[in-house]
Chain A
Amino acid sequence: MTITEVSVSLTINGRAVSVPQGTSLLAACESIGIETPTLCWAENLTPVNVCRVCVVEVEGSRALVPSCARAAEENMVVHTESPRVRHSRKMVLEFLGSSTDLSQASDLAVWMRHYQADPNRYGQTDVPAERIVEEPKVQDDLYVRDYDKCVLCYKCVEACGDDAQHTYAIAVSGRGFNSRISTEFDTVLPDSACVYCGNCIGVCPTGAIQFKTEFDMRAVGDWRPESQDVTTTVCSFCGVGCNLELHTQDNKIVKVTSPADHSVTHGHLCIKGRFGWQYVQPPTVSPRD
């Protein structure tokens, strides 16, 4: 049996495109240089298509379709710049900006300007626009969850569950605007199923989950991404060979990531690779305190 790659031909913004069967519309757009905003999509996670910021218009389809999850089909006619698409993308960004703290979601700020989103046009003094208001959950020395930055993209839930860690320590709870990412009965992390792999941090697009180091440095105004270096190395703890990216500021490790396209990790690490750098630079406070 021979496997031949079947390709499909479609039209995007009037341009003919040919892509392998099964390619998402998002990837098809990318193949001809069309940039698309994404939030809940990541190359190392199953698309959940909930944020709707990547929607495109497909002729013949009544509603807009999420480009991240919809596969390209033969003879599809796709528009990414139509008034309906621009409107929906702008509104999604406004909705998120009006209800959550996007101050650490730098990618979104670019798209907000692009679509001229104005999150401040909601609410009045008599009826203010409701926002997500949550105190940061600081429950250990490894990472912090600050859910008023959470846009409910489901990435952390996927990374904790079926897509990477299979730990299932967190899930979406509640309903509607009251939905939150939570452990059972909001139990503190050290008492939950969490194994501190930190894969939730790795996928969070808005800083709602971040390293305690970053959180503390931001609190004192010392977080300076522009003066940080990233050094790629291989984790020394076991023989699997995970790539680590050590983010250093003033010659100190401040956080650790792994490339999403790395064949071994797909961006995911374990507690040792993610947090175990103390032997390089002992912490001033022991995590056991």
Chain B
Amino acid sequence: MASLAEIASAAPTNAGASARRRFLIARLLSYAALIVAVILVLFPVYWMLATSLKLPRDILRVPSLWPSRFSLANFEKLLADGQFLLSIRNSFIVASTVTVISVIISSFAAYSMVRFRYRFRGVIGRLILFAYLTPGSLLFIPLSIVMAQLKLGNSLQGLILVYLTFSLPLSTWLLQGYFRGVPRELEEQGMIDGLTRFGALLRITLPLSAPGLAAVAIFTFTGAWNELLFALVLTTSESVRTAPLALNYLITSDVLPWGPLMAGAAISSVPLMILYFVAQRFMVAGMTEGSVKG
């Protein structure tokens, strides 16, 4: 493999000591590069958490890497009027509803496309992939008009419907890959034992694809949780704001309320980052299989 360590190990073995030294140097350089990269990756995350825990007046006046005085004042300020909690609740309602709907109907669609051969199957496959790659920046204008016509503008229901535009194609695309991995013999066995085809899907294929379903559910939930553009265009009243939107409106004021902003950023991202560390094994597998932006 073309790696720094290999440059060393490829060296003639009769020059034992110098090869050993070169190997160690290569190792050391590799670790050094990786540690620098990890520091650069972690620094913004650290800065977010540190800023959120600083005393509000210290943020500007005493710029420092480490909070000189710890305080929860930013969190208190952010949560004081209940508006941010409401937006977290809205985000939670929208993201979980989208996830449930999306996982159910896209697993049906994916199953149909993997297990049956029929006319239009190829067309539908292409349509789903096109839909996945059609960017929101192209759809937000017409969708806002359509939602207004459906009287779903400025409502959580409207957001839920609109978020299906990105969650359904992705979920269907990913689940097709997982379902292909379930041997059809197992379903056939189940049907000999008296299950209907639908029963075989529910009792055999879906449970065997549990890691895939979990990955798809997480991607859908985080996708909806993180979405900003549609929410910005479709909602106007405070009562239906989602978390990204609530934070977006914090920065449109003249003075940036950094402390509360970073407190809100921490509240809305730390659960997801913990989820990532718990579930990364199949999230990463799903991501590389299906090309997931995240």
Do chains A and B stick together as partners?
A: no
